[in-house]
Structure 1
Amino acid sequence: MAKLVLLHKAGSIYDDEPDRVYDFPKAYLKAVREGVGDWAIYYEPAKAGQRGYFAVARIGEVVPKPDVPDRYLARIVPGSFLPFDREVPRLLDGRVLEAALAGADGSPKKGGAVQLAVRRVTEADFARIVGLGLPQDLEAEEARRYDPAVEIDDGAGVFERPVIERLTSRPYRDVAFRRKVRAAYDYRCAISGLRLRNGGGRPEVQAAHIRPVERLGSDSVRNGLALSGTLHWMFDRGLLSVADDMSILVSRNKVPHEVSDRLIAAEGRLRLPADARDWPHPENLRWHRENVFGQMAFDEPAPWG
C-alpha cells in the first residue's frame, strides 16, 4: 500500500466526485493500485483555485471506467472522505510540504513531479499535511470556541493521537463535519433563512447529513445542510426534503400548513452556500427524497404538538 496525493480540479474533463470516485488516465494506474486500501490527500492546484490540500479519503478499489478506453475509477471507501477544517497551501514559509517536490537545496521544484496528477507521498509528509488541515485538538478547539472557560482534560494528550485514529473517529469526524457545514452556510439555516446566535455567540444552527453516514453517506459538505434544531428533526424524519430545483418539499399529510408557513422562508427555496462547490449534491438530495421523504413513521411527539 502507499499513501497518495490526488490532483482534483473542479470542472475538468475528469468525472471526479471526491467523496465517491476519482477518475484518472492509465498512466497513473500503477500508482493508484498501490494506494488501494490506504489513504490519499486531495490537492487543488493554484491555477484551478486557492484550496491547496483540501481533503482526505481512503481508496477502496480500482476499476476500468465503463465505455472509456484507458481511463479508470478509484472508488472511495464509503464514509472515509473528510474535508480539511482548514485548507493547506502547497508552500509553507516558502517550503513545499511534499519531500518529492523539493530540490536538493530544499527549494520547490518546477515541472516534473509537481505536474503529476497522482503522487506518492511519504508517511511523514502525509501526517504533517493532514495534521495541518485537521488538527489533533480540533474537538477541544471547538469546545472552547464559544466558551473559553470550558475545561478540557488534556491529561492523555502527552502523546499525539495517531492521524489514522483521528480520521476514523466518529466524534472527531462529527466535529469536523459540523464546522465545515455551518461555515459553508454562514451559520444560517438553509430552510428558514434565520441566522441565530445563543449565549456567547454560539450558532443555533446544526449540521445535518442529507444521506446518513450509517446508510453510506459521506462527511462531504455536499452531503450536509445547516438547519435549525426543529428543521433538522423534521428533515431526518422525512417531513421535509429538497427538490432538484432547490425548492422545499413538505409532507403535507403530516405537517400542518400553519407550521410549515412559520418555519420555511417565504420564497420556499433552500438558501445555498456562497461557494457553488459546497451546494448539496443532486444525488444526495435524490436519495433523501426516494428513501426518507414521506416514508418514516414515528411515535415521538412533534416539536410543535
Structure 2
Amino acid sequence: MGFGVFIHRSDSIYEDSPAEQYQFPRQYLGRVQACVGGWIVYLEPSKVPGTRGYFAVAKVGQVIPDPKAPAMYLALIEPGSYLSFPTPVPFSDPDGVIERGLLNAEGRLSGRAQAAVRPLSAADFNRILARGLEEPAPLLPRVDSAMPSAGLEEEPLPFLYEQERQRVLTSRLYRDRVFRRTVLQAYDERCAITGLKLINGRGRAEVEAAHIRPVGASGPDDVTNGLALSGTVHWMFDRGLLSLADDLTILLSRQINDVESVRALLNRDGRARSPRRPSDRPHPHFLQWHRENCFKC
C-alpha cells in the first residue's frame, strides 16, 4: 500500500471516471496494484489547455481486469474517498516542481515525469495535499441550525501522520467544507439555475453547494457532481421538482404547484449556467442519475 500519481486528461481516450474508476494498460499494472488501499492524486498534464495540475485525491479500492477491453485494467476508487481540490496545485512553481521525487541526482527533471502512473513519496503526497486543501480564509458549511464546528479551523496541515491524514480525508464535516469551497469557486458564488449572486455584509455567499447524486447514494465529492444553488432552488432540486438535461436545459416537474412563479426565478434562456472551467461542468453521468432516480417528471 503506497501513494501514487494518476495522470488524467479531460479529453482522455480512456474510459475514465476519476471519482469511480481509472482505466490503464497492462504496463502499469504493478504500479497501480502497489497503490491498492492507499491514496493517489490526479494530475492533468500541462499540455491540456486550462490544465488544473494536481486536482483531486482519492483512495484505490481494488484493481480488476476491464471486462469490456482486453489487456486493459480498472483501478476502482473506494466510494466516498474522492475529493476535488478547491485549489488545484500547479506541477511547478518558482521554487521548482512540487513532486520532488521526479528530480534526478543532478536536480533535473527525470524521465519518470512522463509516466501516466507513478509512485509518490509520503512527503510529496503531504505537500500536494496541503497545497490543494489550503484555506486562505475559513468557509464553513452553510446551515440553518446550530452545528458544532469546534476544531474545523484547526485541521492539521500539512498532514504529518497517517492517523491525522485519515481523519481529515474521511471527516464528513471537513469534506462538506472542502466541497462547498470547490463548487462555489467553480460557479463564482452564483446560483447556476437563477443566476443570483447574493453576498451578505460579512462577504458570505448565500448560494449552497448541492450534490447532484447525493452522498447517501454514493455520490462523490467531485466538482462535476456539484451545483451552486440558492437555498430554495437547492430544496427543489433535492426533492426532484427541478432537474437538468445533459445540455443543462432546466427541467420542471409537473408536480410543481406554482409553475409560473418558479419560471420567473429561472435564467431567462432556460438553461443552467456552466462553471468557468469546462472540466468542472456537471458530468452527464450524474445528471442522468438525478433524472432517473430523483426527478418527478
In structure 1, the residue matched to 2:128 is 129
Structure 1 position 251, deviation (Å): 1.5
Structure 1 position 274, deviation (Å): 2.4
Provide closer, same or farther for how the CA distance between residues 30 and 289 of structure 1 changes in structure 2, counting only shifts above 3 A. Answer: same
Q: Specify the code of the residue in structure 1 equivalent to 2:81.
A: S
Unaligned runs of 5+ in 2: 141-148
Once residues 5 and 23 of structure 2 are traced to their aligned partners in structure 1, the CA distance between those partners, rounded to angstroms, is: 14
**Which residue of the other structure, out of 227, 230, 252, is the alignment partner of 2:232?**
230
- C-alpha contact 2:239 2:294 (8 A) present in aligned 1: yes
SS in 1 for 2:54: strand
TM-score (norm 2): 0.88
In structure 2, the residue matched to 1:118 is 117
SS in 2 for 1:63: strand
SS in 2 for 1:56: strand
- C-alpha contact 1:139 1:175 (8 A) present in aligned 2: no
In structure 2, the residue matched to 1:141 is 138
- C-alpha contact 1:96 1:108 (8 A) present in aligned 2: no
Once residues 55 and 89 of structure 1 are traced to their aligned partners in structure 2, the CA distance between those partners, rounded to angstroms, is: 12
Once residues 195 and 97 of structure 1 are traced to their aligned partners in structure 2, the CA distance between those partners, rounded to angstroms, is: 35
In structure 2, the residue matched to 1:63 is 64
Q: How big is each residue's C-alpha offset from its partner over 1:64-106, in whole Å with a ceiling of 9 and x where there is no partner? A: 123322211111112211111211122243333334311224x
Q: Does residue 249 of the first structure (1) align with residue 221 of the second (2)?
A: no
TM-score (norm 1): 0.86
SS in 1 for 2:17: coil
Once residues 13 and 212 of structure 1 are traced to their aligned partners in structure 2, the CA distance between those partners, rounded to angstroms, is: 28
In structure 2, the residue matched to 1:45 is 45
Once residues 41 and 72 of structure 2 are traced to their aligned partners in structure 1, the CA distance between those partners, rounded to angstroms, is: 20
- C-alpha contact 1:54 1:84 (8 A) present in aligned 2: yes
**Over alpha carbons, which structure has the higher Rg?**
1
Once residues 165 and 93 of structure 1 are traced to their aligned partners in structure 2, the CA distance between those partners, rounded to angstroms, is: 32
Once residues 261 and 115 of structure 1 are traced to their aligned partners in structure 2, the CA distance between those partners, rounded to angstroms, is: 51
In structure 2, the residue matched to 1:97 is 98
Once residues 239 and 81 of structure 2 are traced to their aligned partners in structure 1, the CA distance between those partners, rounded to angstroms, is: 25
Q: Does residue 168 of the first structure (1) align with residue 179 of the second (2)?
A: no
Please show how residues 275-290 of structure 1 align to structure 2 within 5 Å: 275-290=277-292
Structure 1 position 240, deviation (Å): 0.9
In structure 2, the residue matched to 1:301 is none
Please show how residues 286-301 of structure 1 align to structure 2 within 5 Å: 286-294=288-296
Q: Specify the code of the residue in structure 1 equivalent to 2:64.
A: V
Query: For structure 1, which segment, 216-225 or 260-269, has the greater mean C-alpha deviation from structure 2 after superposition?
Result: 260-269
Provide closer, same or farther for how the CA distance between residues 243 and 4 of structure 1 changes in structure 2, counting only shifts above 3 A. Answer: same
Once residues 181 and 158 of structure 1 are traced to their aligned partners in structure 2, the CA distance between those partners, rounded to angstroms, is: 20
In structure 2, the residue matched to 1:19 is 19
How many residue pairs align between the two structures?
283
Provide closer, same or farther for how the CA distance between residues 157 and 243 of structure 1 changes in structure 2, counting only shifts above 3 A. Answer: closer
Provide closer, same or farther for how the CA distance between residues 66 and 155 of structure 1 changes in structure 2, counting only shifts above 3 A. Answer: closer
- C-alpha contact 1:37 1:58 (8 A) present in aligned 2: yes
Provide closer, same or farther for how the CA distance between residues 158 and 19 of structure 1 changes in structure 2, counting only shifts above 3 A. Answer: closer
Structure 1 position 229, deviation (Å): 0.3
- C-alpha contact 1:234 1:240 (8 A) present in aligned 2: yes
Structure 1 position 60, deviation (Å): 1.2
Unaligned runs of 5+ in 1: 144-151, 296-305
Q: How big is each residue's C-alpha offset from its partner over 1:254-289, in whole Å with a ceiling of 9 and x where there is no partner? A: 331232122222221111112221111111111111
Q: Percent identity over the alignment?
A: 49
Q: Does residue 75 of the first structure (1) align with residue 76 of the second (2)?
A: yes
Once residues 158 and 273 of structure 1 are traced to their aligned partners in structure 2, the CA distance between those partners, rounded to angstroms, is: 28
SS in 2 for 1:83: strand
Q: Specify the code of the residue in structure 2 equivalent to 1:20.
A: E
Q: CA RMSD in A?
A: 2.3
Structure 1 position 39, deviation (Å): 0.7
